[in-house]
Amino acid sequence: MALLIKNIRELFGTCKGQAVKRGREMAVVDSVKGAFLFAENDTISSFGRMEDLPAELASARTGIEIIDASGSFVFPAFCDSHTHLVYSGSREQEFVDKIRGLTYEEIARRGGGILNSARRLHEAKEDELYLESITRIHEIAGMGTAAVEIKSGYGLNTEDELKMLRVIRRIRENCPLEIRSTFLGAHAVPAEYRNDRDVYINQIINEMIPLVASEGLAEYIDVFCDDGFFTVDETDRILAAGSKYGLIPKIHANEIGFSGGVQVGVRHNALSVDHLERSGEEEISVLSESDTIPTLLPGSALFLGLPNPPARGMIEAGLPVALASDYNPGSSPSGNMKLIMSLGCIRLKMTPEEVFNAVTVNSACAMGVQDSHGSVSEGKSAGLIITKEIPSFGFFPYAFGSDLIDKVILRGKVWKAAGA
């Protein structure tokens, strides 16, 4: 099957290659005005200006689905490089507790938070967990996401961590999104090990990591390296154990305190360090000497009322900032990447061009899918967003509550059409 999108008002994200955009490069979005795009099977075969549309395509009538995108912009679909979207149930009672004044750490200390989700996940059968999670996948696909990283971390024992990772594998086999999987056994210390943390950490190192690797269930390994969760030394040990099995770090760092998480992540060549609400000059300077991608999660900073990470300082220091949703039941119950773009503008003072690069090419790099996703390039997967008629590129993140997506194309096929 082939797809021809013609009369595109402007086709954005046509940057060549797979390279992450650093610092000032983030202000540039390549585009073609008055464009066509042609995809065969699930891959972009060609694109360019309408006047260069090959005659045989212009006159083709059979075997090609034709979309007339007059008045619309076309973007590469989003890459969401940090989520926890496999979970059971929801936590709106804690939402109310937070409204009444409790902090995330206080809720966690009472056995709420991650441990609350772990209890629910334990009760859920694998099939139920799959159905709940694939519903979320369908939801984010409709909002324009074509690639998503998903973490374990609500199992917190060998059996339940493997259950989560197998659900992620099943999602991967049954949906058109590109999926990457991260083992996050070190998300929280279960209550029974509170006074004997090393027992749990040794279980992660000696039992979980070898099994995750032997079943090929994850590409990445994550640790919640933060005050009240895992220390720098513990993170160090866990990442070192993961690296023996080829698991690349992508870690939670500096959400609650200046935890040293950025430094330990960089020391272990992490692909990304994520959150970073508590970051200063030292963290920025350590990141500048590395290839680690700082990934900011403005949905959870908004939901928890955290300070904003210094996105501008990072961009001015030449770093390649990525943005992701952190879709999870406790700190960011939304996988809406268009909203994440708006929060990047409103709260992090990034421009529309910068947030666009942060949710496409840079987030593709932050989850290792830049060879197939994150830009409009020949040979990449045809994952695209066709906007409704909007006045300008900047209107997309500006109108933060409006659904401005007319169609989502995943692997060359229409996934969502407005009103459908």
The site for ligand NIG (CB under 6 A) is made up of: 84, 113-114, 117, 224, 252, 255, 300, 326, 328-331
Q: Which is nearer to ligand NIG, 29 or 256 (CB)?
A: 256
Establish if 222 lies at the interface with Fe ion (CB under 5 A).
no
* Distance in Å, CB of 95 to ligand NIG, minimum: 11
Taking a C-beta distance cutoff of 8 angstroms, is the pair 307, 347 a contact? no
Q: Which is nearer to ligand NIG, 31 or 331 (CB)?
A: 331
CA 165, CA 171: separation in Å to the nearest integer? 10
CA 194, CA 147: separation in Å to the nearest integer? 36
Element (H, E) at 80: strand 78-80
* Distance in Å, CB of 126 to ligand NIG, minimum: 20
* Distance in Å, CB of 296 to Fe ion, minimum: 12
Q: Which is nearer to ligand NIG, 42 or 274 (CB)?
A: 274
Report the candidate in 169, 171, 153 with the shortest Cα–Cα distance to residue 161. 153
User: Quick one: what does residue 224 bind among ligand NIG, Fe ion, none, with the CB cut-off 5 to 8 Å set by partner type?
Assistant: ligand NIG
Cα radius of gyration rounded to whole Å, the chain = 21
Q: From residue 281 to residue 320, what is the string marking binding to Fe ion with x (rule CB under 5 A)?
A: ----------------------------------------
Q: Cite the DSSP H helix spans in 226-370.
A: 232-244, 261-267, 281-288, 298-304, 311-316, 337-346, 352-359, 361-366
User: Quick one: what does residue 83 bind among ligand NIG, Fe ion, none, with the CB cut-off 5 to 8 Å set by partner type?
Assistant: none
User: Quick one: what does residue 255 bind among Fe ion, ligand NIG, none, with the CB cut-off 5 to 8 Å set by partner type?
Assistant: ligand NIG
Considering only residues 318 to 347 of the shown chain, the ones binding Fe ion according to CB under 5 A are 326
* Distance in Å, CB of 337 to ligand NIG, minimum: 16
Q: Which is nearer to Fe ion, 37 or 164 (CB)?
A: 164
CA-to-CA separations, 328 to 146, 299, 355, 382, in angstroms, rounded: 18, 10, 21, 27
CA 290, CA 266: separation in Å to the nearest integer? 7
Specify the pairing of strand 405-410 against strand 413-417.
Answer: antiparallel
Q: Which is nearer to ligand NIG, 25 or 105 (CB)?
A: 105
Q: Which is nearer to ligand NIG, 119 or 170 (CB)?
A: 119
User: Quick one: what does residue 393 bind among Fe ion, ligand NIG, none, with the CB cut-off 5 to 8 Å set by partner type?
Assistant: none
* Distance in Å, CB of 222 to ligand NIG, minimum: 9
User: Quick one: what does residue 360 bind among Fe ion, ligand NIG, none, with the CB cut-off 5 to 8 Å set by partner type?
Assistant: none
**Nearest residue relative to Fe ion (C-beta):** 326
Tokens encoding 55:
């005659």
User: Quick one: what does residue 114 bind among Fe ion, ligand NIG, none, with the CB cut-off 5 to 8 Å set by partner type?
Assistant: ligand NIG
Taking a C-beta distance cutoff of 8 angstroms, is the pair 31, 11 a contact? yes
| Greatest distance between any 2 Cα atoms in the chain | 73
CA 85, CA 337: separation in Å to the nearest integer? 14
* Distance in Å, CB of 159 to ligand NIG, minimum: 19
In our burial notation (b when 16+ CB lie closer than 10 A, e otherwise), range 327-354 reads bbbbbbbbbbbbbbbbbbbbbbebbbbb
User: Quick one: what does residue 6 bind among ligand NIG, Fe ion, none, with the CB cut-off 5 to 8 Å set by partner type?
Assistant: none
Q: Which is nearer to Fe ion, 334 or 375 (CB)?
A: 334
3-class state of residue 46 by DSSP: strand
3-class state of residue 169 by DSSP: helix
Q: Which is nearer to Fe ion, 178 or 255 (CB)?
A: 255
* Distance in Å, CB of 259 to ligand NIG, minimum: 11
* Distance in Å, CB of 136 to ligand NIG, minimum: 14
Tokens encoding 325:
């949703």
**Nearest residue relative to ligand NIG (C-beta):** 330
* Distance in Å, CB of 112 to ligand NIG, minimum: 9
* Distance in Å, CB of 84 to Fe ion, minimum: 6
Nearest-5° Cα angle at 299, 296 to 305 = 100
Q: Which is nearer to ligand NIG, 306 or 315 (CB)?
A: 306
> 394 — alpha (psi -120 to 50), left (phi > 0) or beta?
alpha
In our burial notation (b when 16+ CB lie closer than 10 A, e otherwise), range 303-323 reads bbebebbbbeebbebebbbbb
Q: What are phi and psi of 264, to 5 degrees?
A: -70, -35
User: Quick one: what does residue 250 bind among ligand NIG, Fe ion, none, with the CB cut-off 5 to 8 Å set by partner type?
Assistant: none
Q: Which is nearer to ligand NIG, 113 or 260 (CB)?
A: 113
Tokens encoding 188:
């929280």
Give the residues lining the site for Fe ion (CB under 5 A).
Answer: 326
